[in-house]
Amino acid sequence: MKSTRIGLAALFLSASLAGMAAPKTAAAAKTKKPVAEVKYRAHCGMIYSAAQAKKYHYICPMDHKPLVKITSGARKGK
């Protein structure tokens, strides 16, 4: 009886570990959409990341004009 319990416990443990280690299928990988990186462009031509823009309160420190939001990375319409 005890050996049966140990055998079943080992079976369930190995099955759960195998399920966690299994690679994801291609269909599951395709469902995720790429995250578009948000950047900000200044009037003077400088480009700032989202963190830098927030740090400067969305005003360019060089020419003191507002930053314009631009996105890159993700393609639309496909």
pLDDT at 71: 77
Q: Give pLDDT tens digits for 2-52.
A: 667 888 788 777 877 776 666 666 556 566 666 778 999 999 999 999 999
pLDDT at 65: 94
Domain ranges for the chain: 2-72
pLDDT at 28: 60
Cβ burial of 60 (10 Å; 0-12, 13-18, 19+) is buried
